[in-house]
Amino acid sequence: MTKEVRVKFVARQAILDRDENIFAYELLYRNSNDNFFPANVNDDVATANLFFDSLLFYGIENLADNKKLFINLSTSSILSNLPKLIKPDNVVLEIIERTNKLDEVLQSVENLMKNEYVFALDDYDGDPKWDRLIQKVKYIKIEVDKKLYHTLKRISSLKAKFPDKYIIVERIEDYDSFELIRNAGADFFQGYYFTKPKILNFKNVNPSQLTALDLLKITLKTPLDFDALTKKISKDPSLVARLLRIANLRCKSSNKKINSISQSVAYLGEDTIKQFITVLSLGDLGENKPSELIKVGLIRARFIELLLQSDKRLSEKGYLLGVVSIFHALINVDLAFVFETLALSTELQDALMDHKGKLGECFALCLRVENNDFIGIKDSQEKLNLDETFIMNCYSQALAFADSSLT
């Protein structure tokens, strides 16, 4: 029986500062690729889906891109302390305009503020009923009125009445409006003029797979950020156990004992750590997939690395190219998701998709060897100016590498 693929959708829209730099994102509930709030979905359902299908499942760090994240809350979610399921760091909780039970909401907001949660009031309409709540929020959001001068007057009034609050203006759709709103004193800006909400969908990608992708992303940077790597590994007990095991196996002959993550990372060194992360990530990404598929990725990685061994910089990219080439099959996503998640360079994308450049030609040779395409192998051999014996030796070593890595 084919396993049903559950696709999770969420959109985010950028909030910009006065210099038009991205300050934050607002997270928006979606239930399909149709980029609008679905009809017949109430606030409680939307909030629950944002929390459980997006924030908790994939993590704020995978949605916010190191920016603040604004999240709409229903009345019941505030009263039930749902925000405590996430850390307050870089999160702004939006109290929506349909919120009722204001006395109870105010009490819950005060309690959450003691735990350093930050609030915004969404779609403020000027009603005095909000005044007590405004004292507790950091941001006030308003929408552009049909007549723009009404919006400009509201901004001036808000700045005079609440000088310590930041004003965010939504639904800005053209440059002239933006300029007038900015000159009126607004602090942050949101709307189609800057960017439409961008759909983020996660198909069959579970948290351990996202962790694997994050680890790979860290190892792509030169020099390797050991602190970031240690921090990421420390959040996953199974990763810690596997890292300590391999480190202690490596230093067994020296009678040393490795007892910490930082010790393990320092002892193993950059090259070994990268190999460890690659094999580990392929295993996590390939859960419930044939081991042969993982083996193919390792063979490709090592084969291309060896073909380019005379150029260390290029050979490292070649190793990554081989690994990445099977990701779409491992986690059932298209390559665009892989490119965006790992922030792959144009050089690697072109090599993988169109076999461009020396990297691309090596990848093409790899595929031809896999398929016993002898005419194609001869063509690649001439283009790369490589000896046939050298090519076959590289492939033999790659096979041995994959076998040893998976045992």
Delimit the domains of the chain by residue range. Answer: 7-203, 207-405
Q: 200 vs 63, which has greater pLDDT?
A: 63
- The CA-atom distances, in angstroms, between 64 and each of 22, 60, 90, 232 are 11, 6, 9, 17
Highest mean pLDDT among 17-21, 158-162, 266-270: 158-162
Inform me whether the pLDDT recorded for 336 exceeds 90: no
pLDDT at 165: 96
Class of residue 312 by CB neighbours under 10 A (exposed 0-12, middle 13-18, buried 19+) = exposed
Residue with tokens 């959708």: 9
Q: Compute the average pLDDT of residues 366-380.
A: 89
3 state SS of 199: strand
Q: What are the CB-based long-range contacts (under 8 Å, 24+) for 290-293?
A: 291/406, 293/326, 293/329, 293/330
Q: Please tell me the CATH superfamily of domain 207-405, with its number.
A: Hypothetical protein af1432 (1.10.3210.10)
Residue 187 CB: number of other CB atoms within 10 A?
A: 18
pLDDT at 36: 40
Q: Which two tokens stand for residue 87?
A: 């850390």
pLDDT at 45: 58
* Residues in Cβ contact with 182 at an 8 Å cutoff, skipping those fewer than 6 apart: 18, 189
Counting every residue written for the chain, the total comes to 407
Q: 394 vs 313, which has greater pLDDT?
A: 394
Residue 67's pLDDT band (cuts 50, 70, 90): confident
Q: 238 vs 274, which has greater pLDDT?
A: 274
Q: Tens digit of pLDDT for each residue in 84-101?
A: 877 888 899 999 877 778
Residue 259's pLDDT band (cuts 50, 70, 90): low
Inform me whether the pLDDT recorded for 136 exceeds 80: yes
Handedness of CA 357, 358, 360, 364 (dihedral sign): positive
Residue 241's pLDDT band (cuts 50, 70, 90): low
The residue among 81, 6, 9, 5 whose CA lies nearest residue 41 is 9
| Least-confidence region, from 67-71, 139-143, 354-358 | 67-71
pLDDT at 361: 96
| Least-confidence region, from 85-99, 122-136, 367-381 | 85-99
Q: Compute the average pLDDT of residues 342-358.
A: 87
Amino acid type, 208? S
pLDDT at 40: 47
Tell me: domain 7-203, CATH 3.20.20.450, correct? yes
CB 201 within 8 A of CB 33: yes
pLDDT at 240: 66
Residue 385's pLDDT band (cuts 50, 70, 90): very high
Residue 210's pLDDT band (cuts 50, 70, 90): low
| Least-confidence region, from 11-15, 286-290, 391-395 | 286-290
Q: Which two tokens stand for residue 334?
A: 């298209």
Inform me whether the pLDDT recorded for 33 exceeds 50: no
3 state SS of 200: strand
Inform me whether the pLDDT recorded for 4 exceeds 50: no
* Same fold? 7-203, 207-405: no
As a whole number, the mean pLDDT across the chain is: 79
Query: In angstroms, rounded to a whole number, what is the distance separating the alpha carbons of residues 259 and 153?
Result: 63
pLDDT at 230: 79
CB 328 within 8 A of CB 317: no
pLDDT at 323: 81
* Residues in Cβ contact with 165 at an 8 Å cutoff, skipping those fewer than 6 apart: 134, 137, 138, 139, 140, 158
SS (H, E, C) 84-120: HHCCCCCEEEEECCCCCCHHHHHHHHHHHHCCCCEEE
Residue with tokens 């009125």: 145
Residue with tokens 């005419």: 375
User: Model pTM?
Assistant: 0.50
pLDDT at 290: 58
Inform me whether the pLDDT recorded for 407 exceeds 60: no
Q: Compute the average pLDDT of residues 189-211.
A: 63
